[in-house]
């Protein structure tokens, strides 16, 4: 899988592509205002002002959230003797022992 814009760019450098299938979308500049506003805050505050740090953090923290997995994990806390019930009935991803000898 490759993003179309990366593909069009790579064609300029001699890559060739045979497209088999994929997904198309509409396109829009959805982060324009968010980034402009926060960048303006970042530029207009001195480095020792808390708003400088806040705007910098917010600028860098949004994008990754759009890549969140749609899989949610539930954590349950139970006694060791209940473990086999869980293993039989659920799909378990990870077990964190709490070491309370119970």
Distance CA 51, CA 69 (A): 30
Report in angstroms how near the CB of residue 45 gets to another protein at its nearest: 11
Distance CA 17, CA 11 (A): 8
Q: Which is nearer to another protein, 6 or 85 (CB)?
A: 6
Distance CA 16, CA 18 (A): 7
Q: What is the DSSP letter of 42?
A: H
Q: Which is nearer to another protein, 57 or 87 (CB)?
A: 57
Report in angstroms how near the CB of residue 9 gets to another protein at its nearest: 7
Residues that bind another protein (CB under 8 A): 1-7, 9-10, 13-36, 38-39, 42, 48, 50-51, 53-54, 57-67, 69-70, 73, 75, 77, 96, 98-100, 102
Report in angstroms how near the CB of residue 43 gets to another protein at its nearest: 10
Distance CA 41, CA 94 (A): 42
């Amino acid at each position: 899988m490759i993003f179309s814009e990366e593909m069009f760019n790579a064609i300029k450098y001699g890559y060739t592509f045979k497209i088999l299938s994929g997904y198309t979308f509409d396109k829009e500049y959805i982060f324009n205002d968010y980034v402009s506003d926060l960048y303006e805050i970042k530029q207009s505050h001195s480095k020792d002002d808390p708003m400088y740090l806040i705007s910098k953090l917010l600028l860098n923290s949004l994008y990754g959230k759009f890549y969140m997995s749609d899989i949610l994990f539930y954590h349950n806390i139970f006694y060791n003797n209940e473990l086999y019930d869980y293993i039989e009935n659920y799909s378990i991803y990870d077990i964190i022992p709490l070491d309370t000898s119970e």
